[in-house]
Amino acid sequence: MKREIFTEEHEIFRDAFRKFLEKEVLPHQEEWLQAGIVTRDIWKKTGEQGFVAPWLPEEYGGVGADFLYSAIEIEEMARIAESGFNLSLHGEIVVPYIETFGNEQQKAKWLPGCASGDIITAVAMSEPDAGSDLQAIKTTATKDGDAYVINGQKTFISNGILNDLVIVATMTDPKAEPRYTGMSLIIVEDGTPGYNKVRKLDKMGARSQDTAELFFEDCRVPKENLLGPEEGQGFIQLMQKLQQERLVIAITAMASMWAVLDATKQYCQERSAFGKPIIKFQNTRFKLVEMYTTAEICQTFCDRLLVEHVKGTDVVTETSMAKYFFTEEAKKIVDQCLQFFGGYGYMDEYPISRAYRDIRATTIVGGSTEIMKEIIGRSLGM
């Protein structure tokens, strides 16, 4: 479909980023899959080309681009099914916390490295007994002189092994009422005593993405690492950034739909059964038509949200709708497309197998489908 939201400059950027991925990422995907982690040098190479957090102001190492450039990167990464190199988590989800809520000293210290690829970031929210319900977190940060002492455990943390700094959701006042008013975000640098990257987790999909468990044992960090002017702002800060986080996941699901559909259509044109290409069977054509129609409709909604988000419009409800609906539809589409591949679809040498594994997490991460529906329902007065 023709997408009018992108200018000629956007498309020039897309072409440059696509060529970069073909040269620097595609040749290494199998290697990263086998290792269960991407190499640090890809972050540095990406930063050197200005592709890490391009929206950052020039004073912090970015180029001051709009979010549509980030959307292009997300789409192109999904096009090649690269789920291990978690560029969007770093650039479009974690770094914005520092840029928005950090003071000038924090920004000057960390943002240039975030843009160059020298600093890889993560955000630690989930715990063994606290996922979607963030108010249930047990990690504490106790003030002790000029420092915070952090104790607790985090799990399912993307970029958990590679990160050079992690933004940790903690309770600075566990007795606060309501409880969310006692939550704060604190930045912890790799190498800080008591900050331990305990275990890289084995997952169904996104196998080259380093998802890990983190432990904080009497981890002492300077009080200057508190994100924001005062304690108790953590929950509000997280809520303010959820619109973009959910949009990132929705764009990923949307682009994955197109990539899988186009690959499946090509396969159905080349694969024969009973003496003719399987795309000549009515069931195959009708199913593909249904899925392409779904993708077209979803893309229209996605592009509308992109425009509104760039303008700064509050579309939290709509992005929650997109996150839930796109990920659920993408899951259905990938499942149906794998069926057309038959036994070959079950083989890891075919990209559809990897897509099937990877897409499953999208209905869970960033807030599950059920949580999205709760949020939408409340916003509609239900």
Contact 188, 224 (CB under 8 A): no
Domain match, 126 and 115 both: no
pLDDT, position 59: 96
Q: Which residue from 365, 337, 368, 372 is spatially nearest to 353, judged by alpha carbons?
A: 337
Average pLDDT, the chain: 96
Question: Which of 119, 152, 177 is the last residue before a domain boundary?
Answer: 119
Q: In b/e form, how buried is each residue of 218-254, taking b as 16+ CB within 10 angstroms?
A: ebbbeeebbbbeebbbbbebbeebbbbbbbbbbbbbb
**Per DSSP, which regions of 137-257 are E strands?**
140-144, 147-158, 165-171, 183-189, 195-200, 211-222
Q: Number of structural domains, the chain?
A: 3
* 54 within a domain of the structure (yes/no): yes
Domain match, 285 and 345 both: yes
Domain match, 114 and 126 both: no
* 3 within a domain of the structure (yes/no): no
Domain match, 373 and 256 both: yes
* 2 within a domain of the structure (yes/no): no
Active site residues: 245
Domain match, 256 and 368 both: yes
pLDDT exceeds cutoff 90 at 10: yes
Instruction: Provide φ and ψ at 55, rounded to 5°.
Output: -75, -15
* 344 within a domain of the structure (yes/no): yes
Domain match, 277 and 222 both: no
Domain match, 289 and 353 both: yes
> 36: domain range?
8-119
Gap between the Cα atoms of 166 and 128, Å rounded: 18
Gap between the Cα atoms of 90 and 92, Å rounded: 6
Tell me the pLDDT tens digit for each residue of 229-271: 999 999 999 999 999 999 999 999 999 999 999 999 999 999 9
Give me the CATH number covering residue 245.
1.20.140.10
Question: Which of 119, 135, 151 is the last residue before a domain boundary?
Answer: 119
What is the average per-residue pLDDT within 170-190? 95
pLDDT, position 82: 95
Gap between the Cα atoms of 128 and 139, Å rounded: 11
**Where residue 53 falls among pLDDT bands split at 50, 70, 90?**
very high
Contact 220, 149 (CB under 8 A): yes
- Helix residue ranges per DSSP H, the chain: 8-24, 29-35, 40-48, 67-79, 87-88, 95-101, 104-116, 234-240, 242-270, 282-311, 316-341, 351-359, 369-379
For residue 4, how many other CB atoms are within 10 A of its CB? Answer: 8
* 368 within a domain of the structure (yes/no): yes
* 129 within a domain of the structure (yes/no): yes
Note the pTM of the prediction, 2 decimals: 0.95
Domain match, 82 and 105 both: yes
* 306 within a domain of the structure (yes/no): yes
Domain match, 183 and 84 both: no
* 1 within a domain of the structure (yes/no): no
Tell me the pLDDT tens digit for each residue of 71-106: 999 999 999 999 999 999 999 999 999 999 999 999
Question: Which of 212, 232, 252 is the last residue before a domain boundary?
Answer: 232
